[in-house]
């Protein structure tokens, strides 16, 4: 959907983000607040209010260095709010002198008010039901009660789909319903239009009111951050230093054009609030006489229902002379739609036919009077000629019929026609009276902008949730596809670029993944989250210098984070110092006992030296996170070394269930099946693995070996030639290729390749001699030739 780029829409979007983020912060939902604050900050990085909210969320999540980096800009670009948040960050970090300097900067700004007190927010003694379910799910997940965590998270999302922490909990469990089920699509908002003339309304039968927004605040309804009591009210004085000032801009790229906004803390009036009091009708001369006793009203009803007496023409003129703009406007913006309009004036009773005839004659006289240019003064004089008692009675009956419609219950004897705006007797020559003013148009536009802002936030959250779900299920192609649908400003945010890097890492596209993580480091140089994956990526790429620099930076940023110690452990592992690497991984486990990745890396580090101890590490990782496919894979490798082929295949298949698109896991299952003697099934799995990842060298090498065993030498030679071009310094590949050419009868080419293999790996001289002395018996020397 195309969104408006008007300043009113951008201001509404700003206000809705503020409301949502503060609601999350007040409810102690740090992850949700950080998610929406990053979205808000990505739209306009020059917006001080967005920067303050994002920094406050990061500080809430225990990331003071990242929060300080956001607000610690040059003095010219730093406001009083930035200085206050800088003071709080420095206090957490123990930099007390810098904290005092930041406080003095805040005091030097005379127009600044505290970012925590410039909004009136009503404190909640008890959180709502959705937040309680979300917290219950978090505790069940940390307590390893995964069966009980799922229903709590789903219930929380059913009550409030904006609880991002609940969705992240479902992703951690791996049991994620479809996005359409969790977050159903909403119909686009429709701007309210002026009321139509009665004849057009009867022809087209168009309702006079539209629905409310996606999560527009509703008083008295449960569930949702925007429901029940408002967490805070956007009101009060706004200084140029707080939020967007007169000289600030609120920019949206791709999805919205650049536009200048002059925001106000006052929220636009929301038309969908059911308890909004109707606008007071202007006082007329009839109101001065005061209300009439109820018995007069009942007598009027009895006469209208039983005798159906026709009132005097002057009575109808007196009634029509008083327009009801406030009552009409209240009915038009009522959220109940046509149901509220069906409760019409109780004076329209079973004698509708006689009244219709009477109104036609009166309407003709009224239109004649309007066309003749009669003034209001003559009409007032005609009213004054009536007896005073009858005139007061007429005014009272008209007033009650207009203002007390809902006090009489509906029944079969009452009409279900639209309200008086559509029943006013208007002649063919008289235009319809227009009650749609400029204020009404502005109110409708503000309500439409709020609904559009709600839709923008909701659809943006659905897109990122779809990508996050695909990443949790290791569907990398779908994840990248969903990320491509995001606006450019959100694609370049830190968390989204981390998702891109993880996708390419799981696809073993290490060079592309490295570029993505480099962008993350540029955007957020003090980010600690997800850096353990980046350190392992550098380990695979053998970037020793970059890995060492990353480990030192993470350790200097937060020495108590498990990600930093995992990076240090990978650095020692790269240098073949296994004891030091195990010490670092053990330190990461001490800091976070639920860190399954540290257990897994410990097992892989020691698997060659002590298989039993490695198995204990892998089992501890699975206890912390049953969806750690690396731990399942490690156990499979251990059982494969113990020659327990059935158990190894079971663990490899468990890992494959979690990560079904991993070519290495497919190859491992094929290896276990091949060793059991089922080469046809193993070859089919190798073929599937190559189709999944054509550039994966390991599965191609395994397929080439099984093709050699099945005496399909030409296809094996093709795979090995491809691998030689891909990794020209791999001696095992050249050795196998020389064997294939010897079996094909090309002795000259085989001898050349054996010479190259001897130069690359001098230790393989004895194996080369044994191959030359063997008379084409590949089965006898197959395992001896393979060093890997």
Q: Where are the alpha helices (DSSP H) in 6-119?
A: 7-26, 30-43, 48-60, 64-71, 80-93, 96-107
Rounded-to-integer distance, Cα 634 and Cα 636, Å: 5
Q: How far is CA 514 from CA 416, 503, 763, 773, in A?
A: 68, 11, 34, 46
Assessment of whether the complete model's pTM goes beyond 0.75: no
Please tell me which residue, 517 or 283, carries the higher pLDDT value: 517
Rounded-to-integer distance, Cα 656 and Cα 476, Å: 15
Task: Over range 446-471, report the average pLDDT.
Answer: 94
Q: Where are the alpha helices (DSSP H) in 524-595?
A: 531-541, 544-557, 562-574, 578-591
Q: What is the mean pLDDT of the chain?
A: 75
Name which of 78-82, 402-406, 436-440, 540-544 the model is least confident about: 402-406
Task: Over range 277-305, report the average pLDDT.
Answer: 41
Q: How far is CA 135 from CA 28, 129, 223, 254, in A?
A: 10, 10, 15, 37
Rounded-to-integer distance, Cα 639 and Cα 724, Å: 31
Which sign, positive or negative, has the C-alpha torsion 634, 637, 642, 647? Answer: positive
pLDDT at residue number 611: 94
pLDDT at residue number 4: 59
Contacts of 498 (CB under 8 A, 6+ apart): 516, 517, 520, 529, 530
Rounded-to-integer distance, Cα 631 and Cα 620, Å: 9
pLDDT at 26 over 70: yes
Q: Are 406 and 296 in contact (CB under 8 A)?
A: no
pLDDT at 150 over 60: yes
pLDDT at residue number 419: 39
- Contacts of 200-205 with CB under 8 Å at 24 or more apart are 201/418, 201/422, 202/422
| One-character DSSP codes across 650-668 | HHHHHHHHHSTT-HHHHHH
Which sign, positive or negative, has the C-alpha torsion 12, 15, 21, 27? Answer: negative
User: How many other C-beta atoms can be found within 10 angstroms of the C-beta atom of residue 587?
Assistant: 18
> How many Å from the N-terminal Cα to the C-terminal Cα in the chain?
55
Q: What is the dihedral of CA 338, 339, 344, 348, to 10 degrees?
A: 100
| Crossing angle of helices 438-472 and 30-43, rounded to 10° | 120
pLDDT at residue number 213: 39
Confidence tier at 126 by pLDDT (50, 70, 90)? low
Task: Over range 323-328, report the average pLDDT.
Answer: 36
pLDDT at residue number 200: 56
Task: Over range 515-526, report the average pLDDT.
Answer: 96
How many residues are given for the chain?
788
Q: Are 751 and 741 in contact (CB under 8 A)?
A: no
pLDDT at residue number 623: 94
Name which of 135-139, 330-334, 742-746 the model is least confident about: 330-334
Confidence tier at 735 by pLDDT (50, 70, 90)? confident
Left, alpha or beta for 508 (phi > 0: left; psi -120 to 50: alpha)? Answer: left
| One-character DSSP codes across 379-399 | HHHHHHTS-HHHHHHHHHHHH
pLDDT at residue number 703: 93
Question: Closest Cα to residue 258, out of 57, 43, 450?
Answer: 43
Q: Are 535 and 547 in contact (CB under 8 A)?
A: yes
Give the pLDDT confidence of 84-114 residue by residue, as tens digits: 999 999 999 999 999 999 998 888 877 766 6
- The most confident of 97-111, 151-165, 255-269, 427-441, by mean pLDDT: 151-165
Question: Closest Cα to residue 411, out of 305, 297, 274?
Answer: 305
- Residue found by looking up tokens 């227009």 in the block: 434
Question: Closest Cα to residue 158, out of 182, 180, 132?
Answer: 182
| Crossing angle of helices 747-760 and 731-743, rounded to 10° | 160
pLDDT at residue number 198: 59
Confidence tier at 673 by pLDDT (50, 70, 90)? very high
Confidence tier at 774 by pLDDT (50, 70, 90)? low
pLDDT at residue number 3: 58
pLDDT at 317 over 50: no
List the beta bridge partners of residue 250. Answer: 259
Q: Are 443 and 329 in contact (CB under 8 A)?
A: no
Rounded-to-integer distance, Cα 786 and Cα 780, Å: 12
The boundaries of every CATH 1.25.40.10 domain in the chain are: 494-717
DSSP letter at 304?
Answer: I
Which sign, positive or negative, has the C-alpha torsion 518, 524, 525, 528? Answer: negative
Q: How far is CA 230 from CA 27, 136, 225, 234, in A?
A: 12, 23, 8, 10
Q: Are 417 and 344 in contact (CB under 8 A)?
A: yes
Task: Over range 518-524, report the average pLDDT.
Answer: 96
Q: How far is CA 554 from the centre of its chain?
A: 28
Question: Closest Cα to residue 672, out of 704, 640, 700?
Answer: 640
pLDDT at residue number 202: 55
Please tell me which residue, 766 or 673, carries the higher pLDDT value: 673
Question: Closest Cα to residue 100, out of 78, 116, 84?
Answer: 84
Name which of 25-34, 248-257, 401-410, 704-713 the model is least confident about: 248-257
Q: Are 226 and 36 in contact (CB under 8 A)?
A: no
pLDDT at residue number 114: 62
pLDDT at 153 over 90: yes
pLDDT at residue number 729: 83
pLDDT at residue number 312: 44
Give the pLDDT confidence of 688-724 residue by residue, as tens digits: 999 988 888 889 999 999 999 889 999 999 999 999 9
494-717 has which fold? 1.25.40
List the beta bridge partners of residue 259. Answer: 250
Rounded-to-integer distance, Cα 259 and Cα 6, Å: 7
Rounded-to-integer distance, Cα 88 and Cα 85, Å: 5
pLDDT at 573 over 60: yes
Task: Over range 410-429, report the average pLDDT.
Answer: 39
Give the pLDDT confidence of 347-370 residue by residue, as tens digits: 344 344 334 444 444 444 433 333
pLDDT at 496 over 90: yes
Three-class secondary structure of residue 375 per DSSP: coil
Confidence tier at 383 by pLDDT (50, 70, 90)? very low
Give the pLDDT confidence of 67-92 residue by residue, as tens digits: 999 999 888 888 888 899 999 999 99
pLDDT at 138 over 90: yes
Confidence tier at 434 by pLDDT (50, 70, 90)? low
Rounded-to-integer distance, Cα 622 and Cα 619, Å: 5
pLDDT at 631 over 90: yes
Q: Where are the alpha helices (DSSP H) in 426-437?
A: none
Q: Which two tokens stand for residue 287?
A: 């109101």
Rounded-to-integer distance, Cα 59 and Cα 92, Å: 9
Task: Over range 578-592, report the average pLDDT.
Answer: 96
Confidence tier at 116 by pLDDT (50, 70, 90)? low
Task: Over range 445-452, report the average pLDDT.
Answer: 89
Three-class secondary structure of residue 259 per DSSP: strand
Contacts of 422 (CB under 8 A, 6+ apart): 195, 198, 201, 202
Task: Over range 746-773, report the average pLDDT.
Answer: 80
Q: Which two tokens stand for residue 785?
A: 């030739």
Q: Are 501 and 533 in contact (CB under 8 A)?
A: yes
Three-class secondary structure of residue 233 per DSSP: strand
pLDDT at 341 over 90: no
pLDDT at 394 over 60: no
Rounded-to-integer distance, Cα 784 and Cα 767, Å: 7
| One-character DSSP codes across 468-523 | HHHHHTT-HHHHHHHHHTS-HHHHTSHHHHHHHHHHHHHTT-HHHHHHHHHHHHHH
| One-character DSSP codes across 654-713 | HHHHHSTT-HHHHHHHHHHHHHTT-HHHHHHHHHHHHHH-TT-HHHHHHHHHHHHHTT-H
Please tell me which residue, 125 or 279, carries the higher pLDDT value: 125
Between vectors from CA 682 to CA 678 and to CA 683, what angle results, nearest 5°?
A: 120
Q: Which two tokens stand for residue 25?
A: 């912060």
């Amino acid at each position: 959907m195309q969104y408006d780029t008007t300043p009113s829409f951008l201001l509404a979007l700003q206000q809705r983000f503020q409301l949502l983020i503060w609601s999350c912060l007040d409810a102690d939902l740090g992850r949700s607040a950080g998610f929406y604050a990053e979205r808000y900050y990505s739209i306009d990085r020059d917006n001080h209010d967005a920067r303050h909210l994002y920094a406050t969320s990061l500080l809430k999540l225990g990331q003071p260095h990242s929060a300080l980096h956001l607000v610690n800009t040059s003095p010219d670009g730093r406001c009083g709010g930035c200085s206050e948040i800088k003071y709080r960050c420095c206090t957490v970090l123990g930099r007390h002198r810098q904290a005092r300097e930041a406080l003095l900067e805040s005091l030097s700004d005379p127009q600044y008010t505290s970012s925590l007190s410039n909004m009136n927010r009503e404190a909640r003694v008890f959180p709502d039901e959705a937040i309680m379910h979300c917290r219950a799910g978090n505790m069940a997940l940390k307590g390893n009660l995964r069966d009980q965590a799922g229903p709590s998270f789903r219930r929380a999302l059913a009550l409030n789909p904006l609880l991002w922490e609940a969705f992240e909990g479902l992703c951690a469990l791996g049991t994620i319903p479809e996005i359409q089920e969790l977050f159903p699509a909403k119909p686009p908002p429709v701007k309210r239009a002026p009321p139509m003339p009665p004849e057009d309304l009867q022809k087209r039968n168009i309702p006079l009111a539209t629905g409310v927004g996606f999560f527009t605040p509703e008083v008295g309804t449960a569930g949702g951050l925007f429901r029940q009591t408002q967490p805070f009210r956007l009101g009060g004085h706004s200084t140029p230093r707080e939020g967007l000032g007169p000289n600030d801009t609120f920019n949206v790229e791709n999805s919205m054009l650049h536009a200048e906004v002059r925001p106000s803390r006052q929220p636009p009036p929301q038309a969908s609030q059911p308890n909004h009091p109707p606008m007071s009708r202007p006082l007329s001369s009839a109101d001065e006489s005061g209300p009439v006793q109820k018995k007069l009203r009942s007598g009027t009803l009895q006469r209208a229902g039983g005798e159906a007496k026709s009132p005097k023409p002057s009575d109808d003129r007196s009634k029509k002379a008083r327009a009801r703009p406030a009552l009409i406007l209240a009915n038009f913006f009522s959220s109940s739609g046509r149901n509220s309009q069906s409760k019409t004036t109780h004076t329209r009773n079973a004698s509708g036919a006689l009244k219709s005839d009477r109104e036609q004659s009166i309407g003709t006289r009224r239109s004649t009077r309007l066309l003749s240019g009669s003034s209001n003064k003559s009409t007032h004089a005609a009213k004054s000629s009536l007896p005073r008692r009858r005139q007061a009675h007429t005014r009272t009956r008209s007033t009650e019929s207009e203002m007390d419609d809902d006090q009489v219950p509906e029944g079969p004897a009452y009409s279900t026609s639209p309200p008086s705006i559509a029943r006013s007797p208007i002649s063919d020559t008289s235009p319809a009276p227009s009650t749609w003013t400029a204020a009404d148009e502005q109110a409708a536009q503000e309500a439409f902008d709020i609904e559009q802002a709600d839709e923008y936030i909701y659809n943006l959250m659905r897109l990122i949730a779809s990508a996050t779900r695909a990443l949790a299920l290791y569907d990398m192609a779908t994840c990248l596809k969903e990320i491509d649908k995001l606006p450019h400003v959100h694609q370049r945010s830190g968390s989204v670029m981390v998702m891109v890097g993880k996708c390419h890492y799981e696809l073993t596209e290490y060079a592309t993944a490295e570029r993505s993580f480099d962008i993350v480091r540029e955007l957020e140089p003090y980010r600690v989250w997800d850096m353990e994956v980046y350190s392992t990526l550098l380990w695979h790429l053998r970037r020793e210098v970059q890995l060492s620099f990353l480990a030192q930076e993470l350790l200097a940023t937060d020495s108590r984070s498990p990600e930093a110690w995992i990076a240090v452990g990978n650095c020692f592992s790269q240098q073949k110092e296994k004891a030091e690497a195990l010490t670092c991984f053990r330190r990461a486990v001490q800091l976070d006992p639920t860190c399954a990745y540290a257990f897994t890396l410990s097992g892989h580090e020691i698997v060659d030296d002590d298989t039993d101890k490695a198995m204990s590490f892998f089992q501890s990782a699975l206890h912390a996170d049953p969806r750690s496919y690396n731990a399942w894979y490690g156990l499979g490798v251990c059982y494969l070394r113990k020659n327990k082929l059935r158990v190894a295949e079971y663990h490899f298949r468990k890992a494959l269930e979690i990560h079904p698109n991993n070519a290495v896991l497919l190859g491992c299952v094929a290896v276990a099946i091949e060793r059991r003697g089922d080469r046809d099934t193993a070859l089919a799995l190798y073929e599937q693995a190559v189709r999944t990842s054509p550039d994966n060298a390991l599965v191609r090498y395994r397929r080439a070996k099984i093709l050699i065993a099945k005496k399909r030498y030409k296809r094996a030679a093709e795979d090995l030639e491809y691998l030689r071009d891909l990794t020209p310094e791999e001696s095992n590949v050249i050795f196998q290729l020389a064997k294939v050419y010897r079996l094909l009868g090309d002795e000259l080419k085989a001898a050349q390749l054996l010479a190259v293999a001897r130069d690359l790996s001098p230790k393989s001289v004895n194996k080369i001699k044994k191959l030359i002395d063997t008379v084409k018996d590949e089965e006898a020397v197959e395992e001896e030739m393979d060093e890997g």
